[in-house]
Chain A
Amino acid sequence: MNETIAIKNAKVTSFREKLKKFFRFVFEEGIRFPAYILIHPLKGFDIFKREKKAKTSIALAFIFILCIIQILEVQFSGFIVNQRDINEINTPFEIAYIVVPILLFTVSNWSATSFLDGKGKMNEIFMMICYSLFPLIFAKIFSIIISNTIIQSEVGLYNLIMGLGSFLTLYMIFFGLISIHEYGLLRCICSILLTVLAMLIVVFTAILAYDLFQKIYGFVYTIYREISLRYM
């Protein structure tokens, strides 16, 4: 009897500890570390890469949170900055609006930097971008709240917050690229230009493939109609 009680108590404490541990993990890895990177980008991303401090779970969580905030933004931003018709909001499209560019940039950057002696792995590039979303998430949360309390002449404040968030994200990505690929400044800029080129090629190929599939579908459908009209 006493044993079971002891086990139960042990379980309770372990659950409590787990919860405590979880929150500590979230705070340490999800807020303190990205904030540290934001303030010391070169050193931070060095720790990020060398000490393998980046966590995939945190990276995925950042993307997930940003998707949710993006949806909340189109839904709950104040009317003054957001005149979109609520009936025409397409949630999957909003998610794709976040996820697709990130994946596209990751793949393109990896393929571009493999030409330019980049030391980064695809996984690292992806996680680096996800960690860089950290300021954007906070800016968006803050701007959703702000947008509901401003009038038209105060839209500048909203734009400032959004602009600051985007700028910091780009700033982190830029230094992340330098750190992860162990590049100099000029080389990094070159690699970014190459990445943009690679992105364009990928998009072009995708559109081409889409068009091709449409044509094949049209061909098959025509044959089906021909047969069905003739024999059925």
Chain B
Amino acid sequence: MSKYYKILIVLNILLFSIVVAPITAATGYNYSHDGRPIYSTVGLSVTPDGIYTVISERWTNEKGEKVVSEEFTNPMDLFIYPESEENDVIYIVDSASNILYVFDSVMNFKHKVYRFEVRPEDFINNTKLLMRAKTRDDSGSSAQSWDFTKYLKEEKSMEFLDFLAVAEIPYKDRTEEQKFYIQCYDLTGVYRSVRPARDNNGVPIKDNEDKPVMEDLIYLCDMKNNQIVIVDAEDYHVVQIVPSPETVNFANKIFMPSRMVTDRYGRIYVISEGVFEGIMMFSPAGVFNSYMGVNYITLSFWDIFWRRFMTDEQIALQQTTVSTTFTSLDIDNNQFIYTTSRAIGDTNDTRMIKRLNPEGKDVLTRNGYHDPKGDLIYVRTGVDQNLRGPSRFSSITVNNYGVYTVADEKSGRLFTYDDEGNLLYISGGRGNQFRDLNDPVAICYQGENIIALDRYSKTVLRFVPTDIAVVINKAVKYHYEGNLVASSEEWKNVVAKNPNYEYAYVGIGKSLLNEKRYQEAMSYFQIGYNVKYYSNAYKLYRDEMVAKFFTPVFTVGLVLILSGVAYQTYRNIRYKRKDEDAGEGDE
């Protein structure tokens, strides 16, 4: 008997060892076709080695310099620039200490830039200097923005002509007294890109092989100095300043750039705080051209109706209905600008994410089950401003196959959509641990990963796709490239991992539709709740059926009718004659 007991004990242990296998997969949620939240795995998760803070060893460089926590109190923006195929440079700006931090692709700290040198030879043609600088006295609130000429006078006791005269001296021979620096004041945005270099007349410079010479530049949004500082990407000296525009269409407004991107021609698109007209577009030379992509507000019938009966005091007391400003922007490979903005008046949440074409029109594809707008279910009433209302997007990032992710600062979540506007997965979320995302101010795609900057915990998080997200990304990528068969295979893998992933069925159906297997495609579209594609498949199926059965059915019908008519005619002729005969007989 004891032998059996032993076997039983061993079996038990084996059984328990299977059951106790750790299951630590994070459970997230997604939205079903009818807008209900359903359980789903998260799409992107933070691995333990993907958390970077001031205490991590990576943030000390070889020289012993490190990111000090006192100088990293209010990080505002993060930008990833692919310097070569495998090497990225990551820039982070801090708006309190106004420092530009430079990291390599795995977040090893390289160096930081406090101030940016101004070389007189770059400004020799300017009649007056429009740049501004922060006063050296940077003790908190007493700091202020001042003119560069004033800076010259106060700090260096120089006139403008003296400054230009320094250009004559070779750079190596200049003393410290002959070097000039500007410090940013509220550094809120960073961007880096190349643009065709131009000479003083604005003509693109070409090299010997007739290729345009490109200049590699870092753009800095210097908010309280009301300017954009463009510095060289190598040695950080100031190349150009985009000052506050002085044209008629910018009268009585303050230029406070917070985020910006450039397109491949070097045109600069800027979000300026307090400017409701849209995104400001500057020429590469720094001349303000126009606004684009206005967030129009519309008053409903009832709003207009009630406003007619209101007194001026009541209207003044009412919450002002103004257009919302944009909160962030990104540009994709096809030079379309993706933007996020707040919902208009707490309720109109359908156009928070936009894709602007060069004309400024919103061309975002919204073919998903719902409009891309973050959380579908949210608290609509209540006093707590932090809880009420739809998602508040703080950042958007696009990857190279049309997938875009938005960061919601209200819930700390990342929502990822594909190029057709389908919600792919939701990740992140608030919490008390370092890996939680509490106040994402900036996110950026690095390949398949997302690097997120959390202002609340002052951390940089690397979000890595989970097993299912890897497959979803592959499927979306194949679909974007037009390879429906490979895409369908990947969607099948997604369904194997998560049968509740409704959009995957549509993906499989599309491939079946392409293979002319209409009936199967229809059943997949029905599971995936896609009426449009179901209709397309059914139309083709119906055409096929009609083509197949029309001739036989019509022929048989025709023969039957004709024979019926013939029989009737025959009867008529035959019996009519008899009747006639009989009639004659009666008479």
Instruction: List residues of A whose CB falls within 8 A of some B CB.
Output: 79-80, 83, 85, 149, 151-153
Contact = CB atoms under 8 A, between A and B. Distances in A.
A10 B536 CA distance: 61
Nearest to A148: B538
A152 B542 contact: no
A83 B527 CA distance: 10
Contacts of A83: 33, 529, 531
B526 A149 contact: no
A47 B534 CA distance: 50
A80 B529 contact: no
A152 B33 CA distance: 18
Contact of B531 (A85, A149, A152): A152
Contacts of B308: none
Interface size on B, as a range, is 10 to 19
A79 B526 contact: yes
Q: Most chain-A CB neighbours within 10 Å: which of B531, B532, B542?
A: B531
Contacts of A153: 535
Interface string B529-560: 10110111011001000000000000000000
Contacts of B538: 80, 151
B542 A80 contact: no
Would you list the 10 A-B pairs with minimal beta carbon distance, nearest first?
Answer: A152-B535, A151-B539, A151-B535, A79-B526, A151-B538, A79-B534, A80-B535, A80-B531, A83-B529, A152-B531
A47 to B, nearest CB: 39
Contacts of B33: 83
A151 B526 CA distance: 14
A83 B534 CA distance: 11
B542 A151 contact: yes
Interface in B489-537: 522, 526, 529, 531-532, 534-536
Contacts, number: 22
A149 B542 contact: yes
Given A83-B531, A152-B535, 16 more contacts: A79-B522, A79-B526, A79-B531, A80-B531, A80-B535, A80-B538, A83-B33, A83-B529, A85-B34, A149-B542, A151-B535, A151-B536, A151-B538, A151-B539, A151-B542, A153-B535
Nearest to A81: B531
Nearest to A83: B529
Interface in B30-73: 33-34
A167 to B, nearest CB: 26
A133 B496 CA distance: 49
Contacts of B535: 80, 151-153
Contacts of B536: 151
Contacts of A80: 531, 534-535, 538
A83 B33 CA distance: 10
Contacts of B526: 79
A217 to B, nearest CB: 29
A146 B529 CA distance: 20
Q: Most chain-B CB neighbours within 10 Å: which of A83, A151, A153?
A: A151
B533 to A, nearest CB: 10
Interface string B250-272: 00000000000000000000000
18 contacts: A79-B531, A80-B534, A80-B535, A80-B538, A83-B33, A83-B529, A83-B531, A85-B34, A149-B542, A151-B535, A151-B536, A151-B538, A151-B539, A151-B542, A152-B531, A152-B532, A152-B535, A153-B535
Interface string B382-410: 00000000000000000000000000000
A79 B534 CA distance: 8
A83 B533 CA distance: 13
A85 to B, nearest CB: 8
B37 to A, nearest CB: 16
Contacts of A79: 522, 526, 531, 534
A79 B531 CA distance: 7
A85 B526 CA distance: 10
A153 B531 CA distance: 11
Contacts of B529: 83
A129 B531 CA distance: 36
Interface in B109-167: none
A73 to B, nearest CB: 17
Contacts of A151: 535-536, 538-539, 542
Nearest to B534: A79
A136 B87 CA distance: 70
A87 to B, nearest CB: 12
A79 B535 CA distance: 9
Q: Most chain-A CB neighbours within 10 Å: which of B33, B34, B536, B538?
A: B538
A153 B536 CA distance: 10
Q: Most chain-A CB neighbours within 10 Å: which of B522, B534, B542?
A: B534
A83 B532 CA distance: 12
A79 B529 CA distance: 9
A150 to B, nearest CB: 9
A154 to B, nearest CB: 9
Nearest to A155: B535
A85 B33 CA distance: 11
Nearest to A152: B535
A199 B364 CA distance: 46
Contacts of B531: 79-80, 83, 152
B537 to A, nearest CB: 9
A152 B531 CA distance: 8
Contacts of A152: 531-532, 535
A31 to B, nearest CB: 27
